[in-house]
């Protein structure tokens, strides 16, 4: 293989695919990038056997070929090369890198040793705006469990039907986002997307405004964003039935400014480090929400913020981190807070987004 490409393009390509490579791989080949010329482009791939990422960059091909190179060394070198054209040439088990007065040789491994990157047939596919999908993932994936002993909830449920529904829960809180699509999918399917894959998708979409193509099979899911493709294994398991735990009737409703509620929770959280608990009171008489917390070692806090309250007065004890996770992921200026009593889950709904709900369980005294 012999090619010439820009340092900027090569650096971008390596950054795009490199994040999934673990420093603890037991198979040496998994520490490597696969570099391959194809259709006038340089294809760069990485895999950890759970997720595979491939992207393509423009280059001038003088000699076709493919090879694998140790990712850490290659990335660090390219990041420190000048912003100019780079020549890559494979010879005698090495890749030779030339850029201005930089002359480097890095050992390689044969491309034949690299795991096969799977391909998904495009039978069950959906096309959706990339930024909308990224925003929807960010609004739910933080609620997924981090406990791998329950793999079915350590991921995001992707439910395809009339549109797309994303759900995540750790059994203490639950986030659900519904997305409408311009062209209805011609199939129905529920799959569980690993949380790490969801994080990678959001990172790779970044600020790109193009559509994302999603392809599904029984055991894998693929995402194509511009010149980058992500293929991931799905979590094997049955997602828990959750719909029956979402209340439909509430005793108290409050419409409150999201940023003011964030500030009040952060102030109260200073005095809740041992329990993470903040007591929330809906006061119908003076029309405000009161947030109170206390620590025998530090002191106590009480913050009152205005709210439009309907129904009965109510109170409950909440994990303030769980509420902040939701409030920081949505953009609505105001949110609706709905409660029943101090033993029942509370519901948070953005004022301007009926397709999103967040359920949080109270801390029981």
pLDDT at 282: 93
pLDDT band at 272 (very low <50, low <70, confident <90, very high): confident
Q: So what's the pLDDT on residue 186?
A: 79
Same domain, 229 and 254: no
The pLDDT tens digits of the residues spanning 16-47 come to 999 999 888 889 999 999 999 999 999 999 99
Residue at which a domain ends, from 113, 132, 167: 113
Query: How far apart are alpha carbons 173 and 32 in whole angstroms?
Result: 39
3-state secondary structure of 329: helix
* pLDDT attached to residue 230: 97
The domain boundary, picked from 113, 146, 164, lies at 113
Judge if 200 and 266 occupy the same domain.
Answer: no
**pLDDT (0 to 100) of residue 122:** 80
- Structural domain includes residue 118: no
Q: How far is CA 336 from CA 183, 255, 309, 333, in A?
A: 31, 5, 10, 11
Q: How far apart are CA 166 and CA 240, in angstroms?
A: 14
Side-chain half-sphere exposure of 248, counting CA atoms within 13 A: 2
Task: Please write the tens of the pLDDT for every residue from 208-217.
Answer: 999 999 999 9
* Residue 278 pLDDT greater than 90, yes or no: yes
- pTM across the whole model: 0.92
In a domain, 365, yes or no: no
pLDDT at residue 184 is higher than 90: no
Q: State the angle between helix axes of 7-18 and 71-79 in degrees (0 to 180), rounded to the nearest 10.
A: 140
How many structural domains does the chain have? 3
86-95, 284-293, 342-351: least confident range: 284-293
* Residue range of the domain that includes 214: 124-233
DSSP 241-277: P-GGGS-S--SEEEEEEHHHHHHHHHHHHTT-TTT-E
Count of H-run helices and E-run strands, the chain: 6, 25
């Amino acid at each position: 293989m012999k090619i010439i490409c820009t340092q900027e393009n090569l650096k971008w390509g390596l950054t795009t695919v490199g994040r999934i490579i673990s420093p603890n791989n037991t198979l040496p080949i998994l520490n490597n990038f696969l570099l391959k010329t194809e259709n006038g482009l340089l294809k760069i791939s990485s895999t950890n056997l759970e997720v595979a990422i491939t992207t393509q960059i423009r280059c001038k091909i003088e000699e076709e070929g493919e090879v694998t190179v140790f990712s850490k060394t290659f990335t660090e070198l390219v990041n420190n090369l000048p912003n100019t054209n780079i020549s890559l040439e494979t010879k005698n088990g090495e890749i030779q890198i030339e850029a201005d007065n930089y002359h480097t040789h890095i050992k390689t491994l044969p491309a034949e040793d690299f795991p096969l990157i799977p391909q998904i047939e495009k039978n069950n596919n959906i096309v959706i705006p990339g930024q909308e999908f990224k925003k929807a993932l960010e609004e739910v994936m933080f609620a997924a469990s981090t406990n791998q002993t329950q793999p079915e909830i350590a991921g995001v449920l992707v439910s395809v039907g009339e549109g797309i529904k994303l759900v995540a829960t750790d059994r203490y809180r639950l986030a659900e986002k519904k997305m409408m699509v311009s062209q209805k999918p011609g199939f129905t399917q529920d799959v569980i997307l690993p949380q790490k894959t969801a994080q990678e998708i959001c990172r790779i979409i970044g600020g790109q405004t193009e559509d994302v193509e999603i392809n599904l099979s029984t055991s894998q899911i693929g995402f194509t964003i511009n010149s980058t493709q992500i293929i991931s294994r799905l979590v094997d398991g049955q997602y828990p039935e959750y719909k029956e735990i979402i209340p439909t009737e509430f005793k108290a409703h409050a419409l409150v400014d999201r940023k003011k509620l964030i500030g009040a929770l952060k102030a109260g959280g200073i005095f809740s480090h041992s329990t993470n608990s903040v007591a929330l009171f809906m006061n119908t008489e003076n029309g405000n929400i009161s947030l109170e917390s206390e620590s025998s070692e530090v002191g106590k806090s009480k913050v009152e913020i205005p709210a439009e309250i309907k129904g009965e007065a109510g109170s409950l004890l909440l994990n303030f981190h769980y509420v902040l996770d939701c409030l920081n992921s949505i953009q609505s200026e105001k949110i609706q807070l709905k409660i029943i009593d101090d033993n029942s889950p509370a519901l948070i709904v953005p004022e301007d987004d009926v397709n999103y709900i967040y359920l949080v369980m109270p801390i029981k005294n």
